């Protein structure tokens, strides 16, 4: 069956798959959000330790999902990979850099003789959680506001600014999207901690965590508003399906949501779930909010990627040369490669199943402070 799919179907399928991986990453940024909460919520060494060990058991999943997002884009849309990574050089280098320092920080923070001392590793985690996510959001913003590149007839990329991608930070829409993702990650982080830690005899710590859910959500609202208003009012990029010519289309993204009502539904459902999660944590004192906010974040992510890539929209538009803009049709791998990759993708449900199983096994009992302080303590982060 897979062998008989036509190229356009495969291209759409892979945009959906990449969107799913990207959106799952956004959910898993509860790790990064938690990293930015260590100093704010952890008043004592014990509380800090609980936060770090709670999110520390998931950091590799988030990291791996980001790597897979990059890998899937490379395999399915190599022109995007080449254009964006080679072109918007400094944005990606800065993002990668924050993930390099993150990767050692959980493991090395508490180990004796670690060269920098625990505070520096905690700072690394904060930088990854704040700057890393801000820049990822800014980069995703350019899916709507465009980037500064020209492709020659060999599809080699030339970037038209010396800032190599950093110029995206001049755009308020891009930055607001980034800040929204940072705040959302903090909401997710606090919700995750609320659900994952056994707060027995630590009511004060629990209250602080619960309040963080709410305050960070409030802090996210202005940025969400800027993003939504921007998205619904801005001139977007459209491609003529018959000629392949790219042009500026007024209210393009509003039109996309109207013409693809399912995406609008996904977006609204996602936002509603996040709001419900915050409400249930703050006012109903429930601990399960992470699942609602997590699903909500995935849905919002999907709506963002679908709006960027479907309905004759170039997902990586060029401000410098409209006709260089990348669509899911002109940036993809060949029919053969997409077919082969689709066979490989059949294993994804198995992967998700064992992740879910292990997650359940590991988190069925909540994390207790005693686990971090007993004779086994040296094995913890």
Partner 1 sequence: MLEQIDLSTVNWARAQFALTAMYHWLFVPLTLGLTFLCAFFETIYVKTGKEEWKELTKFWMKLFGINFAIGVATGIILEFEFGTNWANYSWMVGDIFGAPLAIEGIVAFFLEATFFAVMFFGWNRVSKGFHLFSTWMVAIGSNLSALWILVANGWMQYPTGMAFNPDTARFEMKNFFDVVFSPYAISKFTHATTSGFALSSFFVIAVASYYLARRRHVLMAKRSIAVASVFGLVASLMLAFTGDEAAYIDAHYQPMKLAAMEGLWDGTTNAPVVAFGIVNGMKKPGDYQDPFVFEFKIPGLLSLLANRQPGSFVPGINDLVFGNKERNITGVTEMMEKGKLAVKYLAEYKEAQKAGDVAKASNALTEFNKYKQYLGYGHLRSPEEAVPPVSMTFYSFHIMAAVGSAMILVFLLYLFYTAKGTIERATWLYPIGIIFFILAFIAGEAGWVVAEVGRQPWAIQGLLPVSVARTDIAPVNVKLTFFMFLVTFTLLLIAEVRIMLTQIKIGPKEVN
Q: Which of 40, 114, 171, 215 binds partner 1 (CB under 8 A)?
A: 114
Stretch of 83-91, 181-189, 206-214, 243-251 lying at the interface with partner 1 (CB under 8 A): 83-91
Q: Which of 9, 44, 233, 334 binds partner 1 (CB under 8 A)?
A: 334
Q: Is 86 in the site for partner 1 (CB under 8 A)?
A: yes
Site for partner 1 in 26-55 (CB under 8 A): 53
Q: Which of 20, 78, 166, 366 binds partner 1 (CB under 8 A)?
A: 78
Q: Which of 4, 113, 170, 242 binds partner 1 (CB under 8 A)?
A: 113
Question: What interhelical angle do 252-259 and 261-282 show, nearest 10?
Answer: 90
Place of tokens 């039109």: 255
Site for partner 1 in 115-154 (CB under 8 A): 115-116, 153-154
Tell whether the torsion through CA atoms of 301, 307, 309 and 315 is positive or negative.
Answer: negative
Q: Which of 12, 164, 282, 286 binds partner 1 (CB under 8 A)?
A: 164
Q: Is 106 in the site for partner 1 (CB under 8 A)?
A: yes
Task: Supply the minimum distance, in Å, between the C-beta of residue 77 and partner 1.
Answer: 9
For residues 253 to 292, the per-residue mask of contacts with partner 1, x marking binding by CB under 8 A and - elsewhere, is ----------------------------------------
Q: Is 329 in the site for partner 1 (CB under 8 A)?
A: no
Task: Supply the minimum distance, in Å, between the C-beta of residue 111 and partner 1.
Answer: 5
Nearer to partner 1, 164 or 282 (CB): 164
Q: CB burial class (10 A; 0-12, 13-18, 19+) of residue 197?
A: buried
CB count within 10 Å of CB 216 equals: 24
Nearer to partner 1, 70 or 214 (CB): 70
Stretch of 35-43, 114-122, 172-180, 279-287 lying at the interface with partner 1 (CB under 8 A): 114-122
Total residues contacting partner 1 by CB under 8 A comes to 76
Task: Supply the minimum distance, in Å, between the C-beta of residue 101 and partner 1.
Answer: 7
Task: Supply the minimum distance, in Å, between the C-beta of residue 286 and partner 1.
Answer: 24
CA distance 316 to 143: 5
Q: Which of 50, 157, 193, 224 binds partner 1 (CB under 8 A)?
A: 157
Residue 315: closest CA among 227, 266, 246, 265: 246
Task: Supply the minimum distance, in Å, between the C-beta of residue 198 and partner 1.
Answer: 13
Task: Supply the minimum distance, in Å, between the C-beta of residue 49 and partner 1.
Answer: 13
Task: Supply the minimum distance, in Å, between the C-beta of residue 74 and partner 1.
Answer: 4
Nearer to partner 1, 8 or 351 (CB): 351
Q: Is 16 in the site for partner 1 (CB under 8 A)?
A: no
Q: Is 310 in the site for partner 1 (CB under 8 A)?
A: no
Q: Which of 2, 5, 97, 118 binds partner 1 (CB under 8 A)?
A: 97
Stretch of 78-86, 194-202, 216-224, 264-272 lying at the interface with partner 1 (CB under 8 A): 78-86
Nearer to partner 1, 85 or 217 (CB): 85
The 3-state secondary structure of the chain reads CHHHCCHHHHHHHHHHHHHHHHHHHHHHCHHHHHHHHHHHHCCCHHHHHHHHHHHHCCHHHHHHHHHHHHHHHHHHCHHHHHHHHHHCHHHHHHHHHHHHHHHHHHHHCCCCCCCCCHHHHHHHHHHHHHHHHHHHHHHHHHHHHCECEEECCCCCEEECCCCCCHHHHHCHHHHHHHHHHHHHHHHHHHHHHHHHECCCCCHHHHHHHHHHHHHHHHHHHHHHHHHHHHHHHCCEEEECCCCCCEEEECCHHHHHHHHCHHHHHHHHHHHHHHHHHHHHHHCCCCCCHHHHHHHHHHHHHHHHHHHHHCCCCCCECECCCHHHCECCCCCCCCHHHHHHHHHHHCCHHHHHHHHHHHHHHHHCCCECHHHHHCCCHHHCC
């Amino acid at each position: 069956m897979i062998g008989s799919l036509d190229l356009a179907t495969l291209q759409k399928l892979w945009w959906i798959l990449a969107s799913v991986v990207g959106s799952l990453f956004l959910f898993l940024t509860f790790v990064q959000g938690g990293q930015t909460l260590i100093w704010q919520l952890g008043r004592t060494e014990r509380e800090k330790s609980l936060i770090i060990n709670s999110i520390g058991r998931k950091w590799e999943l988030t990291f791996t999902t980001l790597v897979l997002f990059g890998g899937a884009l490379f395999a399915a849309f190599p022109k995007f990979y080449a254009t964006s990574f080679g072109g918007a050089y400094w944005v990606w280098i800065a993002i990668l850099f924050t993930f390099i320092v993150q990767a050692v920080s959980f493991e090395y923070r508490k180990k004796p003789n670690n060269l920098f001392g625990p505070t520096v590793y905690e700072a690394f985690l904060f930088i990854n959680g704040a700057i890393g996510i801000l820049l990822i959001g800014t980069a995703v913003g350019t899916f709507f506001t465009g980037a500064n590149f020209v492709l020659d007839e060999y599809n080699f990329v030339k970037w038209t600014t010396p800032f190599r991608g950093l110029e995206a930070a001049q755009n308020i829409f891009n930055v607001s999207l980034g800040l929204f993702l940072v705040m959302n990650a903090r909401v997710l982080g606090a919700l995750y901690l609320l659900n994952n830690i056994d707060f027995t005899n630590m009511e004060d710590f629990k209250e602080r965590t619960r309040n963080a859910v709410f305050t960070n959500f409030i802090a996210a609202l202005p940025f969400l508003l800027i993003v939504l208003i921007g998205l619904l009012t801005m001139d977007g990029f459209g491609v003529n399906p018959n000629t392949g010519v790219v042009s500026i289309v007024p209210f393009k993204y509003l039109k996309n949501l109207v013409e693809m009502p399912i995406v609008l539904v996904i977006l609204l459902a996602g936002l509603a779930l996040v709001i419900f999660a915050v409400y249930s944590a703050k006012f109903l004192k429930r601990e399960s909010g992470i699942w609602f906010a997590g699903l909500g974040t995935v849905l919002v992510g999907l709506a963002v990627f679908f709006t960027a890539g479907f309905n004759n929209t170039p997902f990586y538009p060029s401000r410098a040369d409209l006709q260089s803009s990348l669509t899911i049709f002109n940036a993809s791998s060949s029919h053969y490669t997409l077919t082969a990759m689709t066979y490989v993708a059949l294993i994804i449900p198995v992967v998700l199943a064992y992740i879910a199983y292990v997650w359940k096994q590991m988190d069925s009992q909540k994390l207790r402070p005693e686990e971090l302080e007993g004779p086994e303590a040296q094995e913890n982060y």
